[in-house]
Amino acid sequence: MSPLSRIATREYRVGVIGLGYVGLPLAVELAKAGFPVVGFDVDAQKVSELNAGRSYIPDVPTADLAQVVKNGKFHATTDMAGLADMDAIDIAVPTPLRKTKDPDMSYVVQAVEDVKAHLKKGQMVCLESTTYPGTTDELVKPMLEETGLKAGQDFYLVFSPERVDPANPQYLTKDIPKVVGGIDKASTDLACALYGQVVTQTVPVSSTVVAEMAKLLENTFRSVNIGMVNELALMCHRMGIDVWEVIDAAKTKPFGFMPFYPGPGLGGHCIPIDPFYLSWKAKQSGFEARFIELAGQVNASMPEYVVTRVADALNSVKKAVNGSRIHVYGVAYKKNVGDMRESPALDVIEHLKKRGAIVTYSDPHVPTFRLEHHGEVHGHMEAISEADALAAKPDCVVITTDHDTFDYDALVAKAALIVDSRNALKAYQGAHINRL
């Protein structure tokens, strides 16, 4: 039976390597569509939770996971030998940056090594991890062809970038058009046939490189525009202009303008990282991405700028940062999630501590977290309730993540000083409120 026929009859077996914010939603959607799916992960605790039908990803309801586990369409394992039984293998592992801002491909390399050890004729291998243009052709393909099997002849090879937006109820995995670029037309067509069963639209492109670059364009677009508006915020503060009012006025134009908003810095796995992937690859070609790198520098400077604004606020009441009790509202990288990857709040906390502040935090989505610097753990922090925090009368409160569940009425009423880096207090007035 042909692969297309097996997809149509839901006999096509799919393995997903990496069961995080990208891999697990995709695996569950495929299982809900009737495909037999196996999730592969090195974390035994995650595997145990999933096989018990318990989801740790907010975008994957536990009820949905429990149902596909119960009906036998999904199970998880740490045993990579099971890859040999799959018809398609989807790689969705992290692609972080090294300290030197160049790509850390170790997770992808390990996943491809696992695939290579069990690769067989007729399988489709798809990389979803965001990476630099050329990864599929220059790294993945040669590794897999060390088996003696040839891509495009003995197995299918595809790049199809993840485009998830955690905690966005409007756009879940199934709702987001899926870009698909194979090393040949047969690979592209087969991937589109599979993904077309679970997403509203597939977008085939001519090559893996186009698909890789498209993903980087999406996130570099956001990074550059956020960098511009962050710089505008600094400029407006110097000029005594309310940047938030400026943006609200500009966005009334019905064409030619898209609003972006300043903040304490960029967070999440993609936007703070992807532009550096693109810049790094450009340098390999002898091209300097000056515009992109400048935006990255502006965005990276924002946590320290927030701390400067805290210092200014404290100075206004004749206090120093050193020795002041400062409470942080929100440490996740965006509102209403518990994801802390690259969260700017962590840099804000680190800068405050370096200046001698006594820092506490509240976050309903993050009860505790480790303090790390360049990958080295040097302690941990535990959340306290908003009520307890305000009862302790901190010298200053900093809003770094604007969760909807925060009691902003109580905050404005009880806090002596507030630095709001998210415009969470837009509806409030008061001399003690300092907006970015």
How far is residue 234 CA from its own chain's centroid?
26
Residues whose CB is less than 8 angstroms from the CB of residue 130 and which lie 6 or more positions away in sequence, other chains included: 95, 161, 162, 215, 216, 219, 269, 270, 273, 274, 277
Residues whose CB is less than 8 angstroms from the CB of residue 136 and which lie 6 or more positions away in sequence, other chains included: 127, 157, 158, 159, 183, 208, 209, 212
Name the token pair of 419: 């630095």
The strands making up 396-399's β-sheet, listed across from edge to edge, are 358-362, 325-329, 396-399, 418-420, 433-435
- Alpha carbon distance 336, 364 (integer Å): 9
Considering only CA atoms, which of 389, 401, 312 is closest in space to residue 358? 389
- Three state DSSP letters for 414-431: HCCCEEECCCCCCCCCCC
Residue with tokens 């040097």: 378
Using an 8 Å Cβ cutoff, are 93 and 57 in contact?
Answer: no
270 counts as catalytic: yes
- Alpha carbon distance 193, 385 (integer Å): 49
Using an 8 Å Cβ cutoff, are 15 and 36 in contact?
Answer: no
Catalytic residue, candidates 192, 236, 270, 396: 270
| Strands in 225-334 per DSSP E | 325-329
Residues whose CB is less than 8 angstroms from the CB of residue 332 and which lie 6 or more positions away in sequence, other chains included: 267, 338, 339, 340, 343, 345, 363, 365, 366, 401, 403
Using an 8 Å Cβ cutoff, are 417 and 317 in contact?
Answer: yes
- Alpha carbon distance 89, 83 (integer Å): 7
Question: Which residues are part of the catalytic machinery?
Answer: 270
